[in-house]
């Protein structure tokens, strides 16, 4: 039994839905289908989920939301009419949006309920379409599927009890179409996962039913060895391990949601990333273990938007608890850190800029001065991280030398190196302005 998840671009138009129908028809093992909300039809189009968020925010702020509402309905009308589906489907979507808006709930609950309508409607439309082409398909609500989540609106986490309930889906006959992106708390309240979370639903369901394969259909042929906007036509990755994928998606590889790896990884369900527009291509397989080939580097990931909080104090190494106290201050401010490279008298804490407001930064700096009495505190901004990723890389002779030579030949100063903390990656911190030429140079050294 396979679980196939189709992303926003695969659900964006009637033509795309027909391709989805063909893919499902081609393989009877594709029994459970998870879908996203209709995504962008063209690069400057707006995703249905974003329209629903705009609608909800306008309503909550007392502004006019009718235009957003019309745009959502028009998109669904276009799809249902082109597929000649029953008009009641559209009426049902209109009714659902109106009833969520009218409900006497908090703004946060309303927003999550509105956001979920994209996926929910998509699943109902696909299931009706599959029936219209002669397949026995039915829509399953995430509550009935057994997807029980924590009470964290917009960032729900799956609860362990869900998996045993989801296993029961194996008993159901026909093709099951489940909306991605949301689940329900034990108390029955709807909660969405983080953005892009339909991948997470797919992985949860694949783990729950113990699928033989989790196929993730998107709009790229495969996972590439490097960001194609930096290096033109990069090599495709055929097979990579869960650990390698995790490291790559941490630093900017957005093909597959990083949280989505966890359920598949726990149950060791292989994942295959494929293109809905070219389903005959092999795509990229993500597996627990792979044969070690002579090339130990599988990909180079990079991301900007980092700052480094540098703290130095003479004889820091002798001061028991210095690191803990420093990280405690960050914890108190609700700021997570990415890496913490340290020396004998200094420590840098790398933080994503998105986690740090001006106010939090001021509080953190003041408390470090007051409580830890350092000699220096400096906030280095505009940093980028590059991860050179591959199983076995850390134990292979000469990789670091190759990477640092590549950076030197691109005339890039390395601000930070972290090698060995992870078994599968080597991390370089550089100035964001040097990013593109660093990545190009590393790519040529490892892949040309």
Residues 45-84 that bind ligand ASP (CB under 6 A): 47, 49
Q: Are 404 and 416 in contact (CB under 8 A)?
A: no
- Residue 398 labelled as part of a binding site: no
- Residue 224 labelled as part of a binding site: yes
Helix, strand, or coil here: 23?
helix
- Residue 119 labelled as part of a binding site: yes
Q: Does 181 bind ligand ASP (CB under 6 A)?
A: yes
Residues 108-127 that bind ligand ASP (CB under 6 A): 118
Choose between 193 and 443: whose C-beta lies nearer to ligand ASP.
193
- Least distance (Å) between residue 410 CB and ligand ASP: 35
CB contact set of 311 (below 8 Å; sequence gap of 6+): 326, 346, 347, 348, 349, 368, 372, 374, 376, 377
Helix, strand, or coil here: 136?
coil
- Least distance (Å) between residue 258 CB and ligand ASP: 13
> Which segments of 173-212 are extended strands (E)?
175-179, 182-184, 190-192
Across 230-243, b (16+ Cβ under 10 Å) vs e yields bbeebbebebbbbb
Q: At what angle do helices 107-132 and 66-82 cross, to 10 degrees?
A: 10
> CA torsion angle for 19, 22, 28, 31 (degrees, to 10)?
30
Among 21, 197, 208, 283, binds ligand ASP (CB under 6 A): 197
Q: Does 180 bind ligand ASP (CB under 6 A)?
A: yes
Choose between 36 and 302: whose C-beta lies nearer to ligand ASP.
36
Instruction: Give CA–CA dist 393/333, Å, rounded.
Output: 36
Q: Does 202 bind ligand ASP (CB under 6 A)?
A: no
For 381, the enclosing helix (H) or strand (E) is strand 376-389
Helix, strand, or coil here: 151?
coil
Site string for ligand ASP, 6-25 (x = CB under 6 A): --x-----------------
Instruction: Give CA–CA dist 244/132, Å, rounded.
Output: 41
- Residue 186 labelled as part of a binding site: no
> Which segments of 159-261 are extended strands (E)?
175-179, 182-184, 190-192, 213-218, 223-224, 236-237, 239-241
Q: Does 183 bind ligand ASP (CB under 6 A)?
A: no
Q: Does 38 bind ligand ASP (CB under 6 A)?
A: no
- Least distance (Å) between residue 50 CB and ligand ASP: 7
Q: Which position's Cβ is nearest ligand ASP?
A: 198
Choose between 2 and 47: whose C-beta lies nearer to ligand ASP.
47
Q: Does 216 bind ligand ASP (CB under 6 A)?
A: no
Q: Are 142 and 183 in contact (CB under 8 A)?
A: yes
- Residue 49 labelled as part of a binding site: yes
Choose between 223 and 330: whose C-beta lies nearer to ligand ASP.
223
Choose between 40 and 360: whose C-beta lies nearer to ligand ASP.
40
- Residue 219 labelled as part of a binding site: yes
Residue 313 backbone dihedrals phi, psi, to 5 degrees: -155, 130
Among 40, 195, 325, 367, binds ligand ASP (CB under 6 A): 195
The stretch near ligand ASP (CB under 6 A) out of 194-202, 222-230, 333-341, 362-370 is: 194-202
Closest CA to 204 of 150, 264, 259, 274: 264
Q: Are 241 and 179 in contact (CB under 8 A)?
A: no
Residues 283-302 that bind ligand ASP (CB under 6 A): none
Q: Does 198 bind ligand ASP (CB under 6 A)?
A: yes
Q: 309 has which bridge partners?
A: 349, 379
Choose between 59 and 181: whose C-beta lies nearer to ligand ASP.
181
Provide the CB-side half-sphere exposure for 376 (13 A, CA). 11
Closest CA to 197 of 36, 63, 81, 18: 36
The stretch near ligand ASP (CB under 6 A) out of 193-201, 263-271, 291-299, 351-359 is: 193-201
Choose between 69 and 193: whose C-beta lies nearer to ligand ASP.
193
Residue 63 backbone dihedrals phi, psi, to 5 degrees: -95, 175
- Residue 196 labelled as part of a binding site: no
- Least distance (Å) between residue 216 CB and ligand ASP: 10
The stretch near ligand ASP (CB under 6 A) out of 156-164, 196-204, 232-240, 425-433 is: 196-204
Q: Does 37 bind ligand ASP (CB under 6 A)?
A: yes
Q: How many residues bind ligand ASP (CB under 6 A)?
A: 13
DSSP state for residue 226 in the 8-state scheme: B
Give the strand pairing for 271-275 and 213-218.
parallel
Closest CA to 122 of 267, 271, 16, 1: 16
Q: Does 214 bind ligand ASP (CB under 6 A)?
A: no
Chain mean position to CA 390: 20
Sites of contact with ligand ASP (CB under 6 A)? 8, 36-37, 47, 49, 118, 180-181, 195-199
Q: Which residues are annotated as a binding site?
A: 5-8, 49, 119, 218-219, 224
Q: Which residues are annotated as a binding site for ATP?
A: 5-8, 218-219, 224
Q: Which residues are annotated as a binding site for substrate?
A: 49, 119
């Amino acid at each position: 039994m396979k679980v196939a998840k189709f992303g926003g671009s695969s659900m964006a138009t009637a033509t795309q839905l027909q391709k989805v129908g063909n893919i499902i028809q081609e393989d009877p093992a594709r029994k459970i289908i998870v879908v996203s909300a209709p995504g962008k039809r063209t690069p400057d189009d707006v995703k249905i989920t974003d329209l629903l968020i705009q609608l909800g925010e306008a309503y909550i702020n007392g502004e006019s939301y009718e235009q957003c509402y019309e745009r959502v309905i028009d998109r669904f009308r276009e799809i249902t009419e082109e597929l000649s589906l029953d008009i009641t489907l559209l009426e049902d979507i209109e009714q659902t949006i109106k009833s969520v808006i009218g409900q006497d709930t908090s703004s946060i609950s309303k927003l999550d309920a509105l956001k979920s309508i994209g996926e929910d409607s998509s699943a109902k439309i696909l299931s009706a379409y599959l029936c219209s082409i002669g397949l026995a398909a039915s829509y399953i609500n995430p509550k009935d599927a057994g997807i029980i989540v924590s009470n964290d609106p917009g960032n729900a986490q799956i609860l362990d009890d869900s998996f045993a309930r989801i296993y029961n889906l194996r008993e159901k006959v026909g093709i099951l179409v489940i909306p991605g992106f949301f689940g329900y708390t034990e108390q029955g309240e709807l909660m969405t996962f983080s953005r892009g979370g339909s991948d997470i639903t797919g992985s949860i369901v694949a783990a729950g039913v113990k699928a033989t394969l989790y196929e993730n259909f998107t709009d790229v042929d495969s996972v590439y060895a490097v960001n194609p906007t930096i290096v033109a036509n990069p090599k495709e990755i055929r097979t990579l391990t869960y650990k390698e994928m995790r490291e790559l998606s941490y630093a900017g590889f957005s093909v597959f949601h990083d949280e989505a790896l966890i359920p598949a990884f726990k149950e060791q369900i292989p994942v295959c990333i494929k293109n809905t527009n070219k389903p005959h291509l092999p795509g990229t397989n993500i597996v627990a273990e792979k044969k070690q080939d002579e090339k130990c580097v599988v990909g180079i990931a990079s991301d900007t938007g980092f700052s480094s909080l540098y703290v130095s104090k003479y004889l820091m190494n002798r001061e028991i608890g210095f690191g803990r106290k420093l990280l405690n201050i960050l914890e108190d401010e609700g700021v997570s850190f990415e890496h913490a490279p340290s020396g004998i008298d200094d420590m840098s804490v790398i933080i994503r800029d998105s986690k740090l407001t001006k106010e939090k930064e001021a509080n953190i700096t003041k408390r470090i001065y007051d409580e830890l009495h350092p000699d220096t505190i400096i906030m280095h901004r505009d940093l980028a991280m590059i991860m050179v990723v591959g199983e076995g890389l850390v134990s292979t002779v000469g990789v670091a030398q190759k990477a640092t030579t590549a950076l030197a030949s691109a005339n890039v100063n390395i601000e930070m190196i972290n090698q060995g903390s992870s078994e599968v990656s080597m991390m370089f911190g550089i100035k964001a302005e040097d990013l593109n030429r660093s990545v190009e140079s590393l790519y040529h050294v490892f892949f040309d």
